[in-house]
Structure 1
Amino acid sequence: MVKKTDRRQIRTKQLLRQALLECIEEKGIDHVTVTDVAERANLNRGTFYLHYRDVPDMLDTLMNERFEQVFSLVRLLDPRELSQYAFAGEPYPKVLAIFEEVLRNADFFKVMLGPKGELSYAMQFRNLMSSHLFSKLEYIMPEGAPTLVPREYLVAYMTAANFGMVLHWIQNGFRETPYQMALIATQLVNHGPIVSSGIRTVPRIEAPNDAPGS
């Protein structure tokens, strides 16, 4: 009996989630009410209140769930590992996992990061990505280590570039597969825009000896 109840609750939350996203697309995030969501899901308001206090509470719950899931994967990234795959011409598996997770929740990210979604949510993603990059660089290259540009500008550039790439993929309807996107991201992050554009070739002397498959 418990399992049946759990399945029913999961199904109800799925209906509410889909209804919320559809309402946001139609009315904008600031104009959606509990009645809107319940009616769209063909459920009564009482059922909605069994799971959420109100629309902002539901939004916060959904956003936090997706946020934590994506960044549990982002935190695993290691630039040194990524370089090995870039020189081997393969997508970095940990980057691939991120794109696969985004695609699994394509409807959510398309709405929430779209024109009628939540701007602060996009900023939240960017800020945590920036914080992650700072901590990773600090671990790999302690403060005072020589860099071509100031660390804060390096992090700002990498954060904006990577978030912009993901956002472009979402806004263009997920045309590329997660594999293709992971390969693009792996090459861009490791080689930068000049080499990635073909203006300059990849210096062979930089290729590590322990690349995958070597």
Structure 2
Amino acid sequence: MSKVDRRIPKSQEAIKKAIIELMSEKSFDDITIQDISNRADVSRGTIYLHYADKFDLLDKLIASHINELHKMCNSITELNYKSLLLIWCKYFENNYLFFSTMLASKGAPYFRNHFINLVTYKLEDEVNVTEGVNSGLRKDAVKQFLGQAIVGLIEWWFINGMPFSPDVLAEHLGELIERNL
């Protein structure tokens, strides 16, 4: 069994943290590999060892958070969506810098699109267009409406500096979703 060099995960975490911090300070387009290298205190070669370029780094960072949210959904299938929302909101709080940077800035619409896609996918089994408040509406339109609303409220929460706790955000999201399903 081969040993993994302990420096690799430390370097990758430093690189990921560096790009998020830099994105919170300036436009992604203005960030260079040298900027990331300086902030992470690693060589440019170390960055290129793990990532093709800054776009690959951002793609992998976004994918890791989207995959984590997706895993949370799959691992707690016995819970209702209100419980899932609370777990998500705690995750948002624990990863504040990433989510606030991705949602509160205009620098990463790519993340927002992936996030909306995940939310609308997870609404598939919740939306009923045969009866109730959404009777007669197109399911894809209802899912898109709710997905945009959910992500929009989370985005607002970050833009406004998390004006209330993750518990309250989850409660509000759950209530608003329930009223519209």
Q: TM-score normalised by the shorter chain: which range applies?
A: 0.7 to 0.9
Q: 1:116 to 1:153 in 2, by over 3 A?
A: closer
Which gives a bigger RCO, structure 1 or 2 (Cα 8 Å, sep 6+)?
1
Aligned to 1:136: 125
Q: Is the 8 A contact 1:77 1:95 kept in 2?
A: no
CA deviation digits over 1:110-167, x for unaligned, max 9? 112232421122122112322332x3147xx5x7x33434033322321122111111
Give the TM-score normalised by structure 1: 0.71
| 2: CA distance, partners of 1:32 / 1:23 | 7
Alignment correspondent of 2:40: 41
In the alignment, what sits opposite 1:32? 31
Count of aligned pairs: 175
Q: Is 1:148 the equivalent of 2:135? A: yes
Letter in 2 for 1:186: G
* Conservation of the 8 A alpha-carbon contact between 2:66 and 2:118: no
The equivalent position to 1:188 in structure 2, one of 165, 173, 176, is 176
Aligned pairs (5 A) from 1:8-27 = 8-27=7-26
Which residue, 166, 170, 174 being the options, matches 1:178? 166
Q: Deviations over 1:31-54 (max 9, x none)?
A: 222111001222211222222221
When Rg is computed on C-alpha atoms for both structures, the one with the higher figure is: 1
Question: Is 2:92 the partner of 1:93?
Answer: no
2-structure distance, mates of 1:29, 1:164: 22
Residues 1:166 and 2:166 aligned together: no
Letter in 1 for 2:52: R
**C-alpha RMSD of matched pairs (Å):** 2.6
TM-score (norm 2): 0.82
* Residue number in structure 1 paired with 2:101: 111
**How far apart are the structure 2 equivalents of 1:116 and 1:18?**
19
> Which amino acid is 2:16 matched to?
R
Q: Are the equivalent residues in 2 in contact too, given 1:24–1:116 (CA < 8 A)?
A: no
What are the superposed Cα offsets for residues 157-199 of structure 1, whole Å, 9 maximum, x if unpaired?
Answer: 211221111111121222322222112222222235xxxxxxx
Q: Indicate how the Cα distance of structure 1 residues 174 and 9 shifts in structure 2: closer, same or farther if over 3 A, else same.
A: farther
Residues 38-77 of structure 1: per-residue CA shift (max 9 Å, x gap): 0122221122222222111111110100011112334578
Task: Give, in whole Å, the separation in 2 of the partners of 1:164 and 1:77.
Answer: 24
Q: Does the 8 Å CA contact 1:99/1:182 hold for their aligned counterparts?
A: yes
Over the matched positions of the two proteins, sequence identity in percent amounts to 24
